[in-house]
Amino acid sequence: MKTIQKCVFAVMAAAVLLSAVGCEGMSRRDKNMAVGAGVGAVGGAVLTGGSALGTVGGAAVGGVIGNEVGKGNR
């Protein structure tokens, strides 16, 4: 089970990094929100053992936090 979690974490981290590269036309605030959602999704998945609800919840919370952090970057 731990091996599967590590693989899922690695795949999610790679997806977040690759998606950040494709954000060329986005504002800094939008980028912060996207990165926050990605990190939150990975964190939620890890903390809840891969639960879909935990992953979606983590993404939502991370997106909100990234959006709020992005407000200061004008």
pLDDT digits (tens, 9 = 90+) for 7-23: 777 777 777 777 666 66
Distance of CA 13 to the CA centre of its chain: 8
DSSP character at residue 23: -
Q: What residue spans define the domains of the chain?
A: 2-70
Residues 6+ apart with CB under 8 A from 18: none
Contact 9, 47 (CB under 8 A): no
Give the position of tokens 């926050």: 36
- Does the model's pTM come out above 0.95? no
Structure tokens at 70: 């992005």
Residue 73 has pLDDT above 60, yes or no: no
